[in-house]
Structure 1
Amino acid sequence: MAGSRAVGALGERASVSDRSFFERTYIGTWNFIRQRPLGAIGGVLVVGFLVLAIFAPLIAPYNYRQIDIQHPLEGPTAAHRLGTDAIGRDILSRLIYGARLSMLMGFGAVAISKTFSITIGLTSAYLGGWVDTIIQRFVDAWIAMPGLVVLITILGIARRTSTNLAVAMLVALALLRIAPQSRVIRSLVLDVRGRPYVEAAHASGASTLRIMLRHVLPNILPLLLITATVELPGIILSEASLSFLGFGPAGTPSWGQMLSTDGRQYFRVQPGLAVYPGVAIAFTVFGFNMFGDSLRDLLDPRLRGSR
C-alpha cells in the first residue's frame, strides 16, 4: 500500500516536470491573471499597443498621409471610424501609426540607456576606489543638469544641422536616463558584490570581468527589468510632451503632435482630434504602470512576502 502511494507520488511529480513549455506558460499566465488582475489588464494594453506599432501598415485602414479633401473635420462615419482631421486624414490610421513613434522611443531609449548605465554602474561599484569616485562625480554633474533644457537644446541643434529629429529625440531621451539609472545599478551591485557566491568565485581565481558578467549581472537582471518597466511610461510622456511643443519629427504621426496642432485649433468642431490621442497616451501610460507594478511585486524578492 505504502509502495503504491510512493509510486503514485513519483508519477505525479514526473507528470508535473514533464509538462510542456506551453502548459507551464499557460498555468503561469493564468496564475498571474488571477492574482494580479490590474497587472493583467496592463499587460493586455501593452501587448495591444505593441501589436499596433509593429503591424500598423496591416491594421490601419488608410495610409497616414492619405488626404480626403472632400471630408475634412468629419465625425465618425463608416469610412472613417474616428473621423478626419483638418485636411481629411483618417484619425484612426494616424493614431495607429502614432503608436509606432511612442513604442520606438520608449523601448529604444530604455535599451540604449540600460546598455550604458549597466556598464557605468557595474564598473563603478565593482572596481570601487578612485574609479568609483571619479565616475560618481561625473554622474553627479550629469544628474544636476536640467532635463528639459538638455532635451530642447539637443533637438534644437539637431533641427539646425538637419539631423534626423527622431534619432536625436531617441538619443536625448536615453542620455537623460543613463546617470540616474547607473546610480541605481551601482547600489544593486554593491549589495550583490559581498555575497558568498561572489566571494567564492573571486577566491577560485575567476577574473573580474567573468565575475561581473557571470555572477553579478545575472543576479540583478530581474530588478533591471523592473526599473525598465517603470521608465517606459515616463519616456512615452516625454516624447508626447516634446512633440506637443513642436520638437517632434516632422511628417511622422505622433500623439503629442496631434494634440498640439488640430486638437487645439479645432477642438470645438471635432473634439476627437484632442480626445483620441489623449486617451491613447493615458491608456499607454496606465498599461505600462500597472504591468510594471505587478512585475515588481512578482520579481522583487523584497516584496514577495509583503503582499
Structure 2
Amino acid sequence: MSNIAARPKAVESAKTNSDLVKRLIRNRYMYMMVVPGLVYFLIFKYLPMYGLIISFQDYMPYKGITGSDWVGLKHFEKLFTDSEFWNIFRNTLVLFLYNIVFYFPVPIILAVMLNEVASEFFKRLVQTIVYVPHFLSWVIIVSISYVMLTMDGGIINELLVYFGLSKVNFLLDSAWFHPMYIAQVVWREAGWGTIVYLAAIASIDPQLYEAARMDGAGRFRQIWHITLPSIRSVIVVLLILRIGNVLDLSFEHVYLLLNSMNRPIAEILDTYVYTVGLKQGQFSFSTAVGFFKSFVGLFLVIMSNKLAKKFGEEGIY
C-alpha cells in the first residue's frame, strides 16, 4: 500500500522536474543574460567575505589568514572606543542625510517634469543632456568643479568680482564642503536616477489620466493623485536600497575633495578604511570597520523593509 501511495508523488515530482527543465530550455537565453551578473557578485561580493575572518585576528600578510593569531573582538573594542572613529561616523551620517534630503527627491521631480513634456524631441534632448554626466568619472567631475571654483581664475569667483563681491575660497573653506559635495552628486547622478522612475511612470494606465481630466483635474492634481501614488512602491524600494548604503558613500568622490582644511568634517568611513588599511597597514582594524559598515547596512535594510510592509508597501523581499 505504501508503494502504491508513493507512486503518484513520484510521478508528480518527475513531472515537476520535467516542467522545470522545459522552462529552463525555453528561457535559456534569458538565463544566460543573468550569468555574468551572478559571476560578478560571486567573485567580487561573496568570495571576499572569507576575508572578514581577519577582523578577529592580528593579521600578518607573511603568515596568511590561517597562520595569523586570533584576538577575538580586540579590533571592535578599539573601534568603539576610538573618538576619531565616532567623529568620522558622524561625518558619514551627515553626508548620507544630505543625500536623502537633497539628492533623493531630485530624480523623482525630474522624471515627473520630463513626463509632462509634450514635445518628444525636446524630452529626448533633455534626457540625453542630463544622462551624460553619469558617464564621466568623479575625477573629471571634481576637476571641472575645481576649475570653476578656484580663486585663481575660476569662473564663479570671477563673476563674484564682476558683480562687486569678494572672492570665496570654495575649495579650502570647510563650510562649503557639504554644498559642493551635494551639488556634484546631483549634477552627476540626478539624470541617471530618472530612468527607473520614467519606466514606472510609463507603465501607468493612460485611462486614469483621461478619467481625471473628465473630472476636471488639472496637470498638478493628476501628478499628485495619479503619478506619484502609482510610482510610490518604486520610490519605497529605491529608498530602502539607499538606506542600506547609509555608510557606503562614494570613496573616490570624497577622497578627491579631501584636503587638510576640510578633513575634520569630510573624512568618512571609506576614506578612513583606506588610510588605516592601506597607508598604515592596519589590515585587521580596517576590516573590522568594513564589517561594522556591512552589519549596519544589513540591519537598516531589514528594519526599513519591515517598516515599509507595516505601512502596506511590498518592500524588497
Q: TM-score, normalised by structure 2?
A: 0.55
Please say if 1:105 is aligned against 2:95.
yes
Alignment of 1:1-307 (within 5 A): 82-83=77-78, 91-130=81-120, 131-151=122-142, 153-154=144-145, 157=149, 158-159=170-171, 164-192=176-204, 194=206, 196-233=207-244, 236-243=247-254, 247=258, 249-252=262-265, 253-267=267-281, 271-272=284-285, 274-288=286-300, 299-300=313-314
What is the Cα deviation at residue 148 of structure 1? 4.9
> Contact 2:103–2:190 at 8 Å: present in 1 too?
yes
> Contact 2:201–2:230 at 8 Å: present in 1 too?
no
Aligned partners of 2:271 and 2:144: how far apart in 1?
19
What is the Cα deviation at residue 216 of structure 1? 1.4
- Paired-residue identity, %: 11
Aligned partners of 1:101 and 1:172: how far apart in 2?
18
Equivalent position amino acid for 1:82 in 2: E
What is the Cα deviation at residue 167 of structure 1? 2.9
How many residues are paired up? Answer: 220
What are the Cα deviations for residues 155-202 of structure 1, in whole angstroms up to 9, with x where unaligned? 7855267762233223322333211122221221222251x3332111
CA distance 1:151–1:246, shift in 2 (3 Å): closer
> Contact 1:126–1:190 at 8 Å: present in 2 too?
no
Aligned partners of 1:240 and 1:122: how far apart in 2?
31
Equivalent position amino acid for 1:258 in 2: Y
What is the Cα deviation at residue 246 of structure 1? 6.6
Consecutive unaligned residues in structure 1, runs of 5 or more: 1-74, 85-89
Aligned partners of 2:245 and 2:181: how far apart in 1?
14
> Contact 1:255–1:280 at 8 Å: present in 2 too?
no
What is the Cα deviation at residue 121 of structure 1? 0.7
Aligned partners of 1:220 and 1:123: how far apart in 2?
14
Aligned partners of 1:242 and 1:279: how far apart in 2?
22
> Contact 2:244–2:301 at 8 Å: present in 1 too?
yes
Q: Please say which of residues 150-159 and 125-134 is displaced more in the overlay.
A: 150-159
CA distance 1:128–1:189, shift in 2 (3 Å): farther
Q: Which one has a bigger Cα radius of gyration?
A: 2
Aligned partners of 1:275 and 1:242: how far apart in 2?
21
